[in-house]
With several copies, the nearest count.
Chain A
Amino acid sequence: MKYFTTVGDQQYTIEIDHDNKILVNGERYDIDFQPSPEGSVYSLLLNNRSLEGLVEEREDTWEVLIRGELYEVQVQDERAFRLAKARGTVATVSGDVNIISPMPGIIVAVPVSEGEHVSKGDKVIILESMKMENELRAPRDGVVRRVFVQAGAGVEKNQTLVLIGDPDAQGEESDEA
């Protein structure tokens, strides 16, 4: 089977043909791959190089923990990759962005208002949680299309707080971006 695997801005083509060989971007490796009896721990000997990682699936993303670092990995087989390509949803970075609450808490302040231009890094929401005021910032330049909450409101984890649109796109059509 052939897979297209993305980590951050890196994409790899990985072919798994036999039990003990893989091709990574065309290069062949001997593998000895073993789940461990310890939960989601996996051990891989890759040409005798030993790799250990925790691998868990979370909302269509594979989270991989290796030596303290957590990686978010997208794995698509050939069919899924082609379909995604046809739909144009491979690695989107433009379009609208929702600012969502990373945890339950109380909105302390909303320093932006609808229609306002924001730059990447601007404070958009101040959320109190875990006994701290946390600042949620704009992930890119844009225009504040909607503000769904106001100061004093309690919010749940993953609740949408603010919608930031493409500065060039027209207001109500941004859903199609």
Chain B
Amino acid sequence: MNTDTLIPKNFNKLLIANRGEIAMRILRACHELGIRTVAIFSDADRNAMHVRQAHEAYYIGPPPARDSYLLIDKIIEVAKQSGAEAVHPGYGFLAERAEFAQACLDAGLVFVGPPVNAIRVMGDKQTARQTVKAAGVPIVPGTEPGLDDAALIQAAEDIGYPLLVKASAGGGGKGMRPVHKSADLADSIAAARREAMAAFGDDTVYLEKMLVGARHIEIQLLADMDGNIIHLGERECSLQRRHQKLIEESPSYVVDEKLRQQMGEVAVAAARAVDYVNAGTIEFLVDRDKNFYFLEMNTRLQVEHPVTELVTGIDIVQEQLRISRGRRLRINQADVKMSGWAIECRINAEDPYNNYLPSTGQITASRLPTGPGVRVDTGVFPGYEVTPYYDSMLSKLVCYGETRSEAVLRMRRALEEYRIMGVKTNIPFHQHMMDSHRFLTGQFDTSFVEERFSMDEREAPHQLDAAILATLVAHQQGQKASQIVAPGDRDTSNWKWLGRWERLQK
């Protein structure tokens, strides 16, 4: 096996090479396993939750990621300085950079992730396609590697429209452009190259047929160093906007036990083709006839891993840490049981009523929903500043139910309870989706959000109530203000400090 780049070691201190909710997620798993944590932070994150809750924290640079969270040498230096024995990259940033995994190994640090070679092969989308195709995995029709613009435009005629321009180094929808007619192709290739260069420093792109009406369904894998690979069933992530996932669920409405088994076996074969170790995900497109095609492999933890955790009861991040410590998987495929249903809504700082424009500013209030069947993963708190430097996801709201409809009803309840103020959020988008007949009946594909879902139809139901509340507050503040003229009236300055005022009312 080509896993000689992994050093199993029973590490007790780990550096988290990330920020935000995923840094908190990793930190919690570490603390639960008795592993001490080392956080890193940019100037924008001195007050971040992961910095305050880690055992140690080191400053690494200015807010832009290229000056801090993407600095491989600096992060390795901090790891050595702090005495960390392992590094968890989270997702995004350096998670799928083979050179970072290599740098960890060179420094004698355990990289909590797959072997360097697996990252490298799967990181280049075109090489990945060739590799899994050779292992018998069905792939979406598309171009061969290394074509220039002219050759791509030529090849597009054979593939046919609609098609996708995709960055070879891409991921998370960056450097990806749908093209519906040949007239738009050249512009889209240019845009994709520009975005790919900015995001990944590599502007190689390729074309892939766009499967109309297809659903995005992925298989979660766990693989240990002894070559045991199991899958934890599927997640459906079809609800996307501009290739950014918004809502994920497990299981999928359209996957039955037989299809799950087939997709699981193919996913395991794809992973085996690169001698995969640790947690990873094979993304598939599933067409209306339930044919499925390999899309790409994510050689890291996924944002949406919690839905799988809720239906299988398995803690994927703890499993990652165990695997990297050299332990064999404790369970085999037959032990994996899915029960109930879990849905995740990504709560983003963006305005669903205004073309989903990102929203920045200080969070003035944040109260998380809680109670039965609700999980929130977040790094946000009252006073947190949403900056333009990092992505707009504030939290992941995950709900569990015995059935899909119970999970949906619980999600509605949790969305109503969730309060974030100071920036606009996409909570109304999720509320509208949870009310949507097509969502409830599972009738959607990857184009649903962009093409057949509109917030214009939504009637925000509390206009009168909002008017009354605002008027009462304005009235009360006006009354307060008019009292300020009275000298020595100390209470006016305590307007927001209700304790005293309230007592006067009683």
A: residues with CB less than 8 A from B are 1, 3, 5-8, 10, 12, 14, 16, 22, 24, 31-46, 48-57, 62-71, 73, 75, 77, 102-105, 108, 128-137, 157
Is the pair B460, A71 in contact by a Cβ cutoff of 8 Å? yes
Known: A45-B57, A137-B355. A130 touches B462 (CB 8 A): no
Contacts of B491 in A (CB 8 A): none
Contacts of A40 in B (CB 8 A): 364-365, 421
Tell yes or no: B487 within 8 A of A by CB: no
Contacts of B388 in A (CB 8 A): 103-105, 129-130
Is the pair B195, A5 in contact by a Cβ cutoff of 8 Å? no
Closest chain B residue, CB of each to CB of A10:
B463
Is the pair A134, B382 in contact by a Cβ cutoff of 8 Å? no
Is the pair B383, A37 in contact by a Cβ cutoff of 8 Å? yes
Can you report 22 residue pairs joining A to B where beta carbons are below 8 Å apart? A3-B475, A5-B467, A10-B467, A16-B471, A32-B46, A34-B47, A35-B496, A37-B362, A39-B365, A43-B46, A53-B465, A64-B469, A65-B421, A66-B469, A68-B418, A68-B431, A69-B460, A70-B425, A75-B470, A77-B478, A129-B388, A131-B390
Is the pair A24, B468 in contact by a Cβ cutoff of 8 Å? yes
Least distance between A73 CB and chain B CB atoms (Å): 4
A102 partner, pick from B357, B420, B475, B501, beta carbons under 8 A? B357
Known: A7-B463, A105-B388, A130-B388. A51 touches B358 (CB 8 A): no
Is the pair B473, A24 in contact by a Cβ cutoff of 8 Å? no
Least distance between A3 CB and chain B CB atoms (Å): 5
B52 partner, pick from A43, A104, A131, beta carbons under 8 A? A43
Closest chain A residue, CB of each to CB of B431:
A68
Is the pair B47, A16 in contact by a Cβ cutoff of 8 Å? no
A130 partner, pick from B199, B367, B391, beta carbons under 8 A? B391
Least distance between B17 CB and chain A CB atoms (Å): 16
Known: A33-B472, A71-B466. A54 touches B55 (CB 8 A): no
Least distance between A20 CB and chain B CB atoms (Å): 12
Instruction: List CB contacts (< 8 Å) of B428-477 with chain A.
Output: 428, 431, 460-477
- Of B51, B54, B424, B467, the most chain A CB neighbours within 10 A belong to B467
Is the pair B472, A44 in contact by a Cβ cutoff of 8 Å? yes
Known: A46-B468, A51-B465. A103 touches B382 (CB 8 A): no
Known: A55-B470, A130-B392. A66 touches B383 (CB 8 A): no
Q: How large, as a class, is the contact surface on chain B?
A: 35 or more
Contacts of B428 in A (CB 8 A): 68-70
Is the pair B474, A49 in contact by a Cβ cutoff of 8 Å? no
Is the pair A73, B470 in contact by a Cβ cutoff of 8 Å? yes
Contacts of B475 in A (CB 8 A): 1, 3, 16
How far does the alpha carbon of A50 sit from the alpha carbon of B47 in the complex, in Å? Answer: 11
Closest chain A residue, CB of each to CB of B475:
A16
Contacts of A38 in B (CB 8 A): 365, 367, 381-383
Contacts of A55 in B (CB 8 A): 469-470, 473
Is the pair B471, A14 in contact by a Cβ cutoff of 8 Å? yes
How far does the alpha carbon of A69 sit from the alpha carbon of B365 in the complex, in Å? Answer: 14
Contacts of B161 in A (CB 8 A): none
Tell yes or no: B502 within 8 A of A by CB: yes
